[in-house]
A and B are shown apart, each in its own frame.
Chain A
């Protein structure tokens, strides 16, 4: 767990959970369902990281929430707010820029700015 390799991987993945939650929750979702969706998309996340994170994003008004009591088990549904969508767009742009920047590190032909 505290292997330097794992630590570096963890460090790199840290911010991606926020971005993937904001993107996935453009359609409303609840805690455990979101956990499974994230896993399916390749963002393995611990439940004890995700649940508090959802609350934090809600407090920061990037997510809104609503209790759905229509089904047998009442669940709290989260949804990305307008502000959250803006954040998701900014983060996605940043991610793409980083992808280009990282490629340029090893690319023999330097990337031009319009490619980013």
Chain B
């Protein structure tokens, strides 16, 4: 008696229902649709049009089935969404950087080239991100479907501290003091030498760096101080400040890595003495890797920090 559209609709709705419910829903839905079609025919529609209209009014069979089975039509609902978001955000901030750093350092130490190490660390980072997102979300979807509680409730103690954005007096003084110390150390190293070998002092940095490279570093440090003062004067981080800050960080990284790559950063006398006192090539390689990672890491964080503070100040 049923034409195909109606039986297809009933099938699509009832198929996914629990067996206990399925037959009953089938029969009831068949009667309801037949009633609706007949009411339309009584108003002068032909059977085909009436059937189409009645089914269209009932809407997506999956949505109807979800209604019958009391299933939710979302992946993660409001009960778990914020917990999911906080957890995922925290994990994404912590785990991928550590994994990337670990993978990069491990490859560099075992003798891979810089390019290979970077490539490997990016690949590891991406796969960690995908895995984190997938598994964390899957756990929450299961929690949502089983109606379990995560046991986390919000209370006032979780309110974030009011964060200093690095525009206060203390921050500018700290920046200036740091720059002064660095310049002092640079000058002292140049004139007297900071390292002590067998009772006599030698320079840590390569003697050939004077004057050009040394002055370039001094200029970078002075610009850094100028930036700190400018931000203090403005009272807030701006996009320009963040760009200048990033440019200074990039300039410092290229200054350090260029010299390190050419073997012109550190005093060969110092390295020679280190090798003489039993530091083998493998250890030197590891120390070199750690030095590169620290230089790049600190500068990258400095640049990112500037942008974060800019974004925070924009919201004030």
Contact = CB atoms under 8 A, between A and B. Distances in A.
B27 A76 contact: yes
6 contacts: A30-B35, A47-B32, A48-B57, A48-B59, A51-B68, A76-B28
Interface in B97-121: none
> Chain B interface: which size bin?
20 to 34
A56 B25 CA distance: 13
B29 interface: yes
Nearest to A34: B32
B67 interface: yes
A31 B28 contact: yes
Interface in A65-96: 67, 73-76
Nearest to A33: B35
B24 interface: yes
A46 interface: yes
Given A74-B27, A76-B24, A76-B27, A51 B64 contact: yes
Given A47-B36, A48-B59, A73 B68 contact: no
Interface string B7-35: 00000000000000100110111011011
B39 interface: yes
Interface string B162-186: 0000000000000000000000000
Contacts of A76: 24, 27-28, 31
A61 to B, nearest CB: 15
B39 A51 contact: no
A70 to B, nearest CB: 13
B17 to A, nearest CB: 10
